[in-house]
Amino acid sequence: MNAVSQTGPSIRFRGRSFMAMTLVADGPLEGWLADFDVWLQRSPGFFTGRIVVLDFADTAQSKADVERWIGELATRGVRLVGIEGVRPSLVDATMPPVLRGGRDATLVVTDNVTDSATTPAEPRKPAEPVNMLVERRIRSGQSIVCLEGDVTIIGSVGAGAEIIAGGSIHVYGTLAGRAIAGATFGARAQIFCTKLEAELLAVDGIYRTAEDIDDAFRGKAVRVSTADETLRIAAL
């Protein structure tokens, strides 16, 4: 009798990276949530479909602390794919996994480290902007994030692509995706593009979707800013 070998179904694994937004639990829960709720009122739906990680920054003291943070965010529609900055002993199988090795979108390292034990602390100065220049087309599904300054794109931003900047966004080409400015520097930020076809525009948490953008600005060079808690679009 001839032996017959049967091959089971083939399962393929691929390594793939995704851009995640990280929320930092850098204060008491009640005060942090109060600020977060104000932000959500101005930008409802901002976290819908986003990959979100919560960084406890070593502030969680108990498993109950971790559970409460996760639960409060879940009630606000923020579902976490992972957590950072927490002892593994405070996490169980019902919680998002503890992540390791994450990197900020942009990183600034200074070499003028001082000994805090011997050097008096100086008032903290505002961080200097660190701007990003991208000289290529941003395709659907891609994200460009620079929370420390402006983002300048020399090329188009395709539908389904996303640009997030701490400061302003400059697009020298068609802006067909999502542009979110002022994530760090607030209302000082603006958005500029040479051809507007955007799915979403946002500055300092105030946004408009494609349905809310006047057709008169479609295909035009525009400037987007905020005034009196309103997103303003003006032709250039």
Predicted local confidence at residue 3, as pLDDT = 55
44 pLDDT higher than 90? no
As a whole number, mean pLDDT of residues 115-122 equals 41
Specify the 3-state DSSP secondary structure of 208.
strand
- Give the tens place of pLDDT for each residue, 61-74: 888 989 999 999 98
- Give the tens place of pLDDT for each residue, 122-142: 444 444 557 899 999 999 888
As a whole number, mean pLDDT of residues 227-235 equals 91
The band of 45, judged by pLDDT with boundaries at 50, 70 and 90, is low
224 pLDDT higher than 90? yes
More confident call, 21 vs 174: 174
82 pLDDT higher than 60? yes
| CA pair distance 131, 90, nearest whole angstrom | 38
